[in-house]
A and B are shown apart, each in its own frame.
Chain A
Amino acid sequence: MTRGTRVLALSVLALAAVSACRKKPEVTPTPSGPTPSPTCDQRCRDSIALSEKRRADSIAAANAARDAAERERALATTKATLAAPVYFEYDSDELSPDARATLDAKLPIFRANPSLRIRVAGHTDERGSDEYNLALGQRRAAAVKRYLSDQGIDGGRFEIVSFGEERPVVAESNEEAWRMNRRAEFEIIAGAESLVAPK
């Protein structure tokens, strides 16, 4: 602590002591609270009411903003959960435990949003035949739809499509790119406006 700040701290303490002394006589025996003191005139009471209202309003606004932010966050999480792709092994449409977990996380969203409809798009890596990969992508999308239907979600809520190797996420030729490109993606085709987070 420097000398200067020490002086500043002392003067602050002194000021506080002075103002405490000055306020003391104003304290009345009447109970504190919303009831205005007899010494408070109408203007005084209005001003107190206004400030009380402002305080209440600001609390309500803060609460509303917090709720909205929470809802927003929950909706964003919901959307992200819904859009989360599932990944596949090379030349396979089998759903791994990870893929099943990704799909299971989507189930409450489908249950909470009966008007929600989704397009499942199957994709492949660049290896193999361009054309055969379209069929493989179709098989992947179909496997996803079948799994979700098996979990009790109406199959009519899913459209499936394949883009084969035509739309890679990572346009590179290495294991990591191939892993990222062997996927099924999820696109909302109905019910996006009324989407709510599951309870």
Chain B
Amino acid sequence: MSLLRRCALACVVSLAAVAAVVAPARAQDTTVAGVRIGLVYAPGTRPGVLVLPVDGTAGDSIRAILERDFTYGDRINVITLEPSAIPQFGSGSARPNYPLFTRLGVAAILQVTPTSFGIQVTVHNAGKGVAERTKAFPLPSGTLSADWRLALHAVADEIEQWVTGVRGIAATRILYVSAGRVWQVDSDGANAIAITSSGSNAMSPVWHPKASHIAYMTMGATGQQVVIREIGGATRVLPTRSGLNMTPTFAPDGYTIVYAHGAESGTDLYATNAFGNEPARRITVGRGSDNTQPSFSPDGRRLAFTSGRSGHPEVYISDADGTNAELLTPYNFGDQSYRANPDWSPDGRLIAFEAQLAGRMQVMTIGLRDRVIKRHTSEGTNEQPSWAPDARHLVFTSNRGGTKQLWVLDVESNTVRQLTHAPAGARFGAWSPLLRAR
């Protein structure tokens, strides 16, 4: 009995300690510009948001896109009501029916009005019964065009920040490879377009940290090259030595590119200026092993990569210059399953990777502070995770639907949704940083 009590006491103490550690982080999250709706986002608690019907020819599209963005963000509980069934405004008033909505679990009411140059958005605090904030957003002409959609996604992201304190990730795009071509698709699955020409035999696309360029690998009959492409502009083949040149990644500084080069004695990571002609410098010493798939920490000081130096692939982290390499993923001696494809989360706290379990790859994360490993998938083969800018969602390749397609995972709730429906299949998803509407 006394032992139990002591345990309980210990639990309380440790919980308090955890709370003390967590508290500053949350406080940090809430210090954002703009007005708060009096809601503090907590995992597992999603404020209810109601988007009122929107007038105008594009009104239904605007409302549907905003609602879908909030749903996909996994931080807001979108509450939908039959428009005809609910009197949205009090009698003889332009004010929403606050008491009714509050009873229905609505925390914030979104009122969107078309203007001559875009939309005006008002966020009402249902609990307090006041309009908290109004802002006009310009939208480009060409309703439902790619630019218009991106601009509207950015509106959704800003509203999500008002409501939850965390900016949404709707205004992003995901690169992938289908039938050897690099494609991009909006975060909501719309607007899939091919970026490279057919027959480009591309693999492993990545974004520049400013989303101004992408880099990828092309496979020829005699070897592989790294190609850097300006968005909407020219392409350039990175001057590398002949042989295997693959898995490029831009450093957060925006100038350095790190890639894997292999010839006759293993594959090592090399760094060079992405836009210059300097000779590349080798940054791993693999001694004949394979060292590939580099991913930078957000501060650019550390590097995660896959290495076969222990006899089979495992994830390692090192300083950006390749020194102080240490094994990140633990394994048991004689274990033939392997771990690969690390992607460092934008908040620096987790590394996502793929691990072979019972012969199949599964998406995992490992905490950098506590080295706690979490498994996030189980259905089919799941691989090639890439973080969204919110450090909460991952895009990955899964064959669970019969063909390889991209899926999106919320690592906090482990809910998934299918992103692509490419006839030729899709793989090598790479999530962009937040994009600015043009």
Contact = CB atoms under 8 A, between A and B. Distances in A.
Contact of A131 (B222, B223, B265, B293): B293
Interface residues of A, number: 23
Contacts of A131: 203-204, 246-247, 292-293, 340-341
Contact of A162 (B244, B340, B354): B244
A129 B341 contact: yes
Given A130-B203, A130-B427, A161-B222, A135 B267 contact: yes
Given A138-B267, A145-B264, A132 B359 contact: no
B262 A135 contact: yes
Contacts of A159: 222
Interface string A121-163: 0000001111110111011001001100000000000011111
Given A129-B313, A130-B203, A163-B219, A138 B243 contact: yes
A168 to B, nearest CB: 14
14 contacts: A91-B312, A91-B336, A91-B338, A129-B293, A129-B313, A130-B384, A131-B292, A132-B341, A134-B292, A135-B262, A135-B292, A138-B267, A139-B290, A142-B263
B323 to A, nearest CB: 22
Nearest to B264: A142
Interface in A88-141: 90-91, 119, 127-132, 134-136, 138-139
B260 interface: yes
A155 to B, nearest CB: 9
Nearest to B221: A161
Contacts, number: 90
- The prevalent SS among residues of B at the interface is strand
A196 B313 CA distance: 43
B304 to A, nearest CB: 14
B184 interface: no
Interface of B: 203-204, 219, 221-224, 243-244, 246-247, 260, 262-267, 288, 290-293, 306, 308, 312-313, 336, 338, 340-341, 354, 356, 359, 361, 383-384, 427-428
A166 interface: yes
B293 A134 contact: no
A160 B262 CA distance: 11
Contact of B306 (A90, A129, A161, A162): A129
Nearest to B404: A130
Given A136-B290, A138-B263, 14 more contacts: A90-B336, A91-B312, A128-B340, A129-B306, A131-B340, A132-B340, A134-B203, A135-B246, A135-B267, A135-B290, A136-B308, A142-B264, A161-B223, A166-B219
A118 to B, nearest CB: 13
Contacts of A130: 203, 383-384, 427-428
Contacts of A160: 243, 263-264
Nearest to A91: B312
Contact of A134 (B221, B224, B265, B312): B224
A186 to B, nearest CB: 14
Interface in A62-98: 90-91
B307 to A, nearest CB: 10
B306 A132 contact: yes
A154 to B, nearest CB: 14
A91 B290 CA distance: 11
Nearest to B290: A135
Contacts of A129: 293, 306, 313, 340-341, 354, 361, 383-384
A138 B293 contact: no
Nearest to A155: B264
Nearest to A160: B264
A132 B427 contact: no
Contacts of A132: 290, 292-293, 306, 308, 313, 340-341
A187 B267 CA distance: 23
A145 B265 CA distance: 11
Contact of B244 (A91, A134, A145, A146): A134
B426 to A, nearest CB: 13
Contacts of B288: 139
A97 B292 CA distance: 30
Contacts of A135: 244, 246, 260, 262, 266-267, 290-292, 308
B262 A162 contact: yes
Which 10 pairs across A and B sit closest by C-beta, in order of nearness?
A135-B290, A135-B267, A129-B340, A138-B262, A142-B264, A138-B244, A132-B340, A135-B292, A131-B247, A129-B341
Contact of B266 (A127, A134, A139): A139
Contacts of A127: 356, 359
**Residue of B223, B244, B260 contacting most chain A CB atoms (<10 Å):** B244
